[in-house]
Structure 1
Amino acid sequence: MGERRRGESGEPGTGFPAESEELLERAVELLRSCCRDSGSQQGFRYSQAILVENELFRSELRAFARAKAAAGYSPEELRESFAFLLFEREDEARAVCQRGLRVNSSSLRSLGDPAKGVYISEYPDWQRGKSGFIVICRLIKGKVRPVSESSGSCSRPSPGYDCHASARSGQCYVFEVSGGGGAAERPRQVCPYIRLAWSRETRPEHGAGIAEQKPQAPCRWRGQLCLRGRRLGTIALRSAHGAVPAQL
C-alpha cells in the first residue's frame, strides 16, 4: 500500500480523491497556515498533490495514541498536528510515503542521534533552490522535551519523552523507545499524509518588461473633488493631449 494516483478512491473520511484540485487546495492551505513567516510563501507555486494512502501508517498512529492515552498522556500531548519534510528529488519524497520516515534518514545531530530517531519540521517554509517536494505528515509529538540546538546535550532519546523540540528553528527529533530500551526503526507517531511539488515563480530579469510599459501621461490638471459642498479628496487629470476641458 502507498500512494494512489488519479482515478482511485481517496482516503476514507477526508472527502478528497487521491489526486485532485481539492486536495491541492487543502495542502496549500495547510502549508500557509503552518508557516512561521506569514509572507514566506509568496512567490511559490504548488502542484501534483497526492494523498498518501497507507492503512498501516494510519493504524499505527492510532495505536500509538491509544497506548499513550492508556499511559496517562494529556489531551494536549495526544493532539495531532502537522509537520513537514522537504526533498530535492521526487524519488526521495516517494520513498518516505511508501516506507515511512525511518531512522538514519537525516544528517542532522543537533537534537539527537539520527540513528535513534527522525527529524521533522513544524514549519514548511524552509525551501531552498528553485524547486522540490514537500511531504506533509500527521504528527503526535507526545511528551516534548525542549532542547537547545547549540548545547548538543541530547545525543540519545530522553527517557520518558517522545520528542526533542527546538523553539528556535521548529525542528523536532521524534523517537519511539521500546520496553527493552531499543529505538524503533520507524516511529509510529509520524504518518505521511500528502506529497506535493513546489517551485519558485519565475520573475522577469532586471529591466525586462520596462520597454513594454507605456509612459504615464502628463498631469494636465489637479484639484479637489467636491460633492454638495463636501470635499472628498484630490484628483488629477492626465492626458496625452494638451487640451483640457474648460469645465470639469
Structure 2
Amino acid sequence: MSNNASSPSANLSPPPSEPPIDKTFYTWTTLFKAMLGTATQSEIKSYNDAYDTLHIESQCRRCESNRDWLFAYSPIIRFLRKECDALGGYIGPENVRCRNCTGKQRGGFDPQYGILLCANTEMKRGRLEETMAHEMVHAYDSLRWKFDGGDVRHAACTEIRASMLSGECRFMRQFWGEGNYRFVKAFQTCVRNRAALSVLKRPQVKSRAEADKVVNSVWESCFNDTRPFDEIYK
C-alpha cells in the first residue's frame, strides 16, 4: 500500500466521531519543541492530532476543492475516469471522499466505498493528483479483472501498476520530493519498494522478505502492463 495505504480490500468506513481534544499539546511551546527536536514522539503525535481535529473542516474543504478541479482539468484524472466509465464503473466526486485519516496513509480504495483522500496529509494539488491517479488505477484494475482482495499476488500486481502509472515514482518527483538521488533504475526501485510496503500491510504477509517475494513473482507481467495507457504516462 506504500504511503498511500491503498488496496481493493481496504477498510474505508467513515472515521468514528472524534473524542474531545486535549488542547494542552496544541501550543506554541509544543511547536517550538518539535522544531528544535526536543519534543517526544508522544507530544508530536498529540500536537498533530489536535491540529487535525481543530482544522478538519477547512482541510476537507480544500481537499474537495482540489479534487473537483482535478476532475475538471487534470488530463490523467479525466482519462482514468473515462476508462473506468467504459468498464461500467463510476468514479466521481460523489464517491471520492475527503476525510481526515490517522497514520501516514494518503488515501485508499474499496470497491464498495470508492476512494478515500486523506485531507490532513494531501494539501498540495500535485500530490493529490498522484494519490487520486493511484487509487483510480486500483479502481480500473478492480473493474477490469475483478481482483480478489484476499489474494496477495493480485494486491501486489495492482500496487505495482498504481505506483508505476500514477506519477509518484517519476524521477523528478523522487529527486526533489523524496531525496532519492539515484539515476540507475530509480523508477523501478521506487515502484518495487512502494508495492512491497503495501503488500506488507496485508495480515497474511509476515515479513518484508515475504512481501518482496510476492512482488517479484508478478513483477514481469504487471510492470510491463501499462493499460489503459499506451505507455507510462509520467
TM-score for the superposition, normalised by structure 1: 0.26
User: Which structure shows the higher helix fraction?
Assistant: 2
User: Which structure shows the higher strand fraction?
Assistant: 1
Question: Which one has a bigger Cα radius of gyration?
Answer: 1
Higher relative contact order (CA 8 A, sep 6+): 2
TM-score for the superposition, normalised by structure 2: 0.28
